């Protein structure tokens, strides 16, 4: 049971570099999420996708773009990384519905220097 798979697990970028965080789920979930976790700030929603082909901004979307490539995959792109984007990034997925728990990937620790 792979669940939600994120790659890479660790990444160091220089300011201004770009990169894409990959996320794939094998549970046939409609909803997918990208969060960032910073000390003392909890998990903040960056982008959300309710279904294939749809994406919506969350609480902190600036500096990020997303792509829901298909039902399985939801990628997060940093076009020009900034030190403020140093964080741990989590991808998650869930069934559609109010009471459906979200399943999380293992996280990506990103450092921008």
Partner 1 sequence: AQKITQTQPGMFVQEKEAVTLDCTYDTSDPSYGLFWYKQPSSGEMIFLIYQGSYDQQNATEGRYSLNFQKARKSANLVISASQLGDSAMYFCAMREGARGSTLGRLYFGRGTQLTVWP
- Binding residues for partner 1 (CB under 8 A): 31, 33, 35, 40-45, 48, 50, 56, 58-59, 88, 90, 92, 94, 96, 98-99, 101-104, 106-107
Minimum distance, C-beta of residue 48 to partner 1, in the bound complex (Å):
5
Using the minimum distance from each CB to partner 1, give the nearer residue, 59 or 79: 59
User: How far is it between the farthest Cα atoms of the chain?
Assistant: 40
Name the nearest CA neighbour of 44 among 62, 59, 55, 63: 59
Q: DSSP for 43-105, please give it.
A: EEEEEEESSTT--EE-S--TTEEEEE-SSSBEEEEESS--GGG-EEEEEEEE-SSTTPPPEE-
Minimum distance, C-beta of residue 55 to partner 1, in the bound complex (Å):
12
Minimum distance, C-beta of residue 85 to partner 1, in the bound complex (Å):
18
**Do the strands 56-57 and 19-25 form a parallel or antiparallel pair, or are they unpaired?**
unpaired
Minimum distance, C-beta of residue 25 to partner 1, in the bound complex (Å):
14
Using the minimum distance from each CB to partner 1, give the nearer residue, 26 or 79: 26
């Amino acid at each position: 049971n792979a669940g939600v798979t994120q790659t890479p697990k660790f990444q160091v970028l220089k300011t201004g570099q770009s990169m894409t965080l990959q996320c794939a789920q094998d549970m046939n979930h409609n909803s997918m999420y990208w969060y960032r976790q910073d000390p003392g700030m909890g998990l903040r929603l960056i982008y959300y996708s309710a279904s294939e082909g749809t994406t919506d901004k969350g609480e902190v979307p600036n500096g990020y773009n997303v792509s829901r490539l298909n039902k399985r995959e939801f990628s997060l792109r940093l076009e020009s990384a900034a030190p403020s984007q140093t964080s741990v990034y989590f991808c998650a997925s869930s069934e559609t519905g109010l009471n459906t728990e979200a399943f999380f990937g293992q996280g990506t620790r990103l450092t921008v220097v």
